[in-house]
């Protein structure tokens, strides 16, 4: 479910109610604190569980909400290059990162710019201008962008770090007053957390592909399922570590731990809930999970999830019948901003998810995504019912009846 949680920290932010253009950050902060106090005193709504609905009726109700291929492309879903190729392409269009205010000044002590010079200039560099080293190992290294601290680092094609450097970063998102929610420090301040290595997501901005190892269902099986996955960082990027699938009635259909194919760099426990002891007892590989999923998911099966493109990419699953709660409940400020599953569940379902400090639960998140979809379906059916009662149904004109 979560492509790079840290990379999306600013991406999944909540709308600021009553924002005023040109307003100072201090005034916005005072209004936000007053709003938070009002929310704290207001009683929270009771947890909501939408009533059950027949599967065939649910399928028909969800057809208008299926994402089009164009929409899937814009959201970063994996799409098949050509029919029956099982090779995917992914277009990654990351959201703009919030930056601290920059003040233009002329530094007389700045080193002279030399084209193709050394990389000791503390800059991030460009994706297409990796300096080459004297050694063959460094010459074959690939440059990646750390999704936590936003710095460039280099790895060999075998997955080894050219320079082992610790990662200092903020794990919280950026609030509307340009502060990190993890430590309340200002944007641009030194990170409050330290990890042993830098990590990357496995994809780059722009076109990614052709990507191998993808599978697709070939025959119809029907049904509606909600999927959620958790991932950890490996030398190859984000890889699947846990998956949960539920049916429309909340019944658990499939759940498994998954052993990554590449060495694990960071278990991402704060967000994934995965610990080293969990993966130590994992026996299934990604190929095993793909075979299990295709045992009950057909090419007409509707899959539901929150930011489902991340789950399908981690599963390496090509699928076209999807309903994404990010698109079902868009952000008030529009794309590319998205509302978090935690906020949607709290506001619409009266349910707290992802509240544990030990990470997310894929089963809990999958059920929340399914209930959000069911809630939307029942609201639309209720609206149609009210509209049909308010507007009289006009009978077709009949000359005999009118004359009588």
User: What is the CATH number for 238?
Assistant: 3.30.420.10
Tell me, what's the pLDDT at 109? 44
β-pairing verdict for 88-92 and 79-80: antiparallel
| Structure confidence at residue 262 as a pLDDT band (50, 70, 90) | very high
Residue 112 lies in a domain: no
What are the residues whose beta carbons fall under 8 Å from the beta carbon of 117, sequence distance 6 or more? 131
Which tops the pLDDT comparison, 389 or 78?
Answer: 78
Quick one: average pLDDT of 327-352?
A: 89
Residue 366 lies in a domain: yes
* pLDDT tens sequence across 122-172: 333 333 334 444 455 556 789 999 999 999 999 998 889 999 999 999 998
The sign of the dihedral angle between the CA atoms of 319, 272, 147, 94 is positive
Tell me, what's the pLDDT at 133? 45
On whether both 187 and 227 belong to a single domain, the answer is no
* pLDDT tens sequence across 98-136: 555 544 444 444 444 334 443 333 333 333 334 444 455
Q: Say yes or no to pLDDT of 349 above 80.
A: yes
What are the residues whose beta carbons fall under 8 Å from the beta carbon of 33, sequence distance 6 or more? none
Residue 239 lies in a domain: yes
On whether both 192 and 221 belong to a single domain, the answer is no
Residue 100 lies in a domain: no
Distance separating alpha carbons of residues 65 and 83, to the nearest angstrom:
24
Residue 1 lies in a domain: no
Q: Say yes or no to pLDDT of 274 above 50.
A: yes
Q: Which of 156, 179, 202 is the last residue of a domain?
A: 202
On whether both 315 and 342 belong to a single domain, the answer is yes
On whether both 296 and 379 belong to a single domain, the answer is yes
| Partners of 211 in the β-ladder | 88
On whether both 219 and 283 belong to a single domain, the answer is yes
Distance separating alpha carbons of residues 227 and 370, to the nearest angstrom:
9
φ, ψ of residue 179 to 5 degrees: the values are -130, 150
Distance separating alpha carbons of residues 99 and 97, to the nearest angstrom:
6
On whether both 251 and 372 belong to a single domain, the answer is yes
| Partners of 147 in the β-ladder | none
Which of 302, 305, 297, 319 minimizes the C-alpha distance to 370? 305
Residue 190 lies in a domain: yes
On whether both 252 and 369 belong to a single domain, the answer is yes
On whether both 287 and 342 belong to a single domain, the answer is yes
Q: CB count, 10 Å around CB of 283?
A: 9
Tell me, what's the pLDDT at 121? 36
Q: Which of 156, 171, 202 is the last residue of a domain?
A: 202
- Domain tally for the chain? 2
On whether both 188 and 230 belong to a single domain, the answer is no
Both tokens assigned to 43: 């009683």
Rounded to the nearest integer, the mean pLDDT of the chain is 80
Q: Which domain holds residue 169?
A: 133-202
Tell me, what's the pLDDT at 353? 81
| Structure confidence at residue 266 as a pLDDT band (50, 70, 90) | very high
On whether both 258 and 195 belong to a single domain, the answer is no
* pLDDT tens sequence across 62-106: 999 999 999 999 999 999 988 888 899 999 986 556 555 544 444
Which tops the pLDDT comparison, 340 or 304?
Answer: 304
* pLDDT tens sequence across 200-231: 999 988 999 899 999 999 999 999 999 999 99
Residue 383 lies in a domain: yes
Distance separating alpha carbons of residues 359 and 273, to the nearest angstrom:
4
Residues in the chain: 404
């Amino acid at each position: 479910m979560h492509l790079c949680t840290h990379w999306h920290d600013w991406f999944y932010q909540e709308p600021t109610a009553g924002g005023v253009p040109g307003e100072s950050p201090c005034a916005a902060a005072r209004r936000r604190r007053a709003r938070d106090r009002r929310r704290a005193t207001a009683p929270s709504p009771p947890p909501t569980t939408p009533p059950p609905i027949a599967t065939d009726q649910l399928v028909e109700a969800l057809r208008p909400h299926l994402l089009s291929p164009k929409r899937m492309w814009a959201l970063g879903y994996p799409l098949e290059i050509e029919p029956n190729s099982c090779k995917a392409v992914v277009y990654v269009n990351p959201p703009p990162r919030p930056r601290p205010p920059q003040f233009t000044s002329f530094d007389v002590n700045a080193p002279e710019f030399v084209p193709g010079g050394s990389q000791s200039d503390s800059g991030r560099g460009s994706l297409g201008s990796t300096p080459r080293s004297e050694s063959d190992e460094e010459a074959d290294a690939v440059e990646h962008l750390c999704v936590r601290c936003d710095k460039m680092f280099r790895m060999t094609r075998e997955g080894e770090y050219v320079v082992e450097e610790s990662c200092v970063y903020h794990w919280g998102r950026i609030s509307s007053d340009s502060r990190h929610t993890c430590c309340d420090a200002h944007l641009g301040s030194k990170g409050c957390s330290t990890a042993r290595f830098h990590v990357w997501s496995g994809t780059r901005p722009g076109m990614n592909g052709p990507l191998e190892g993808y599978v697709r269902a070939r025959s119809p099986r029907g049904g509606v399922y909600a999927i959620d996955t958790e991932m950890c960082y490996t030398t190859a990027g984000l890889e699947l570590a846990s998956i949960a699938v539920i049916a429309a009635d909340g019944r658990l259909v499939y759940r498994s731990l998954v052993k990554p194919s590449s060495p694990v760099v960071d278990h991402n426990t704060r967000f994934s809930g995965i610990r080293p002891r969990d993966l130590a007892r994992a026996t299934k590989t990604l190929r095993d999970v793909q075979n299990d999923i295709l045992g009950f998911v057909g090419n007409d099966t509707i899959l539901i999830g929150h930011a489902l493109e991340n789950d399908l990419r981690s599963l390496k699953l090509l699928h076209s019948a999807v309903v994404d709660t990010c698109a079902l409940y868009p952000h008030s400020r529009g794309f590319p901003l998205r509302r978090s599953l935690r906020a949607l569940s709290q506001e619409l379902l009266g349910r707290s998810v992802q509240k544990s400090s030990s990470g997310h639960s894929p089963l809990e998140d999958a059920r929340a995504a399914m209930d959000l979809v069911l809630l939307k379906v029942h609201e639309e059916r209720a609206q149609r019912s009210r509209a049909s009662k308010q507007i009289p149904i006009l009978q077709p004109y009949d000359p005999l009846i009118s004359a009588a």
